């Protein structure tokens, strides 16, 4: 397989900036793709070793385009995550003044992060979405739009001027990006890990979601993302994208996944990987009764009971 990483392009996206923070990115060819779907498809067909795409932001939650691509199609697996603080610049062609801006563009995920600024400063501007923030900058360069919200670093790449900088409606806004490859053995646990799965309910009955969440709760596993996505099988048919604390090699996590496998129509494992928000020293203490040692002790007790040695 080629030693290349696909990413949401073109050049000058926040995705590219986040990708370049990975040490292994220095040893790979970084290839921009026009969409999340095309970047992930490059991995599926073997044109790229892995793809780097946005999956969640702290303002709007899960990025549905990426979640839906991981839910459907040939299975893929998450290996790494990166958090990047996000602030926007308003990029224009040189000489453009704020009063002359009638049309603006950016990736759909950017709009909720600049909505209030836009209302206060450009209330009459027409918004249209672009494939990425950098692609919006390219369209401004071509004269298709008057301005684009993108990273200030993209201005030089597209011959634009940053008319306004430091634009954000929410302080400390972050976007989470993931490195996605073909399924393989997950990396060894670090002690501060995350496991991602997709769950399909077997049938629709009162308490279905409670039953799914109970498999995590009874084992002391905290959830960091829970988002429903339509399955396409009709109104009211949903699957659930879940990020949970822990690694599949942890007994409590493996036990929860076994429980979910028994009660769900389908479970898709998306990987176990190091958390980007904390180090090992910041990991939450385990709830009493949920450590690997305590699972082993309980299993040994059951074995003794079965042998009449209790």
- At 157 the three-state DSSP class reads helix
Predicted confidence at residue 1, as pLDDT, reads: 54
- Which domains does the chain show, CATH number per domain? 1-86+173-184 (3.40.190.10), 88-167 (3.40.190.10), 186-309 (3.30.70.260)
Taking the CB of residue 256, how many other CB atoms lie within 10 A of it? 25
pTM here? 0.89
The closest of 5, 109, 6 to 58, measured between CA atoms, is 109
Whole-number Å distance between alpha carbons of 310 and 304: 6
Distant-in-sequence, close-in-space partners of 178: CB < 8 Å, separation ≥ 6: 52, 53, 55, 66, 78, 79, 80, 81, 82
Average pLDDT across each block of 10 residues of the chain; the chain has 310 residues. List them in order: 86 94 95 95 96 93 93 95 95 96 94 93 95 94 96 95 94 93 95 96 86 95 94 84 96 97 96 90 86 93 91
Whole-number Å distance between alpha carbons of 180 and 301: 40
Percent helix, percent strand, percent coil in the chain, to nearest 5: 30, 30, 35
């Amino acid at each position: 397989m080629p030693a290349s990483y696909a990413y949401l392009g073109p050049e000058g996206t926040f995705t590219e900036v986040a990708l370049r923070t990975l040490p292994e990115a220095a040893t790979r060819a970084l290839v921009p793709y026009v969409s999340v779907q095309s970047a992930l498809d490059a991995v599926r067909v073997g044109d790229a070793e892995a793809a780097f795409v946005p999956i969640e932001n702290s303002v709007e939650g899960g990025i549905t385009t990426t979640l839906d691509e991981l839910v459907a199609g040939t299975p893929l697996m998450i290996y790494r995550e990166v958090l990047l603080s996000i602030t926007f610049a308003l990029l224009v062609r040189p000489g453009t003044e704020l009063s002359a801006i009638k049309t603006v563009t950016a990736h759909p995920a950017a709009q909720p992060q600049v909505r209030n600024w836009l209302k206060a400063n450009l209330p009459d501007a027409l918004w249209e979405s672009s494939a990425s923030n950098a692609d919006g900058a390219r369209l401004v360069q071509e004269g298709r739009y008057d301005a684009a919200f993108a990273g200030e670093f993209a201005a030089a790449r597209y011959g634009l001027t940053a008319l306004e900088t430091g634009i954000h409606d929410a302080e400390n806004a972050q976007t989470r990006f993931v490195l996605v490859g073909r399924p393989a053995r997950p990396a060894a646990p670090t002690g501060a890990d995350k496991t991602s799965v997709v769950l399909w309910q077997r049938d629709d009955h009162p308490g279905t979601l409670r039953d799914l969440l109970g498999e995590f709760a009874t084992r002391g596993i905290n959830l960091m993302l829970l988002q429903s996505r339509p399955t396409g099988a009709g109104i009211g048919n949903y699957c659930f994208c879940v990020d949970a604390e822990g690694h599949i090699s942890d007994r409590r996590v493996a036990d929860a996944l076994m429980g979910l496998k028994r009660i769900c129509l389908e479970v898709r494992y998306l990987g176990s990987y190091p958390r980007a928000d904390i180090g090992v020293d910041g990991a939450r203490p385990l709830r009493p009764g949920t450590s690997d040692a305590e699972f082993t002790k309980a299993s040994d007790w059951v074995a003794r009971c079965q042998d009449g040695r209790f």
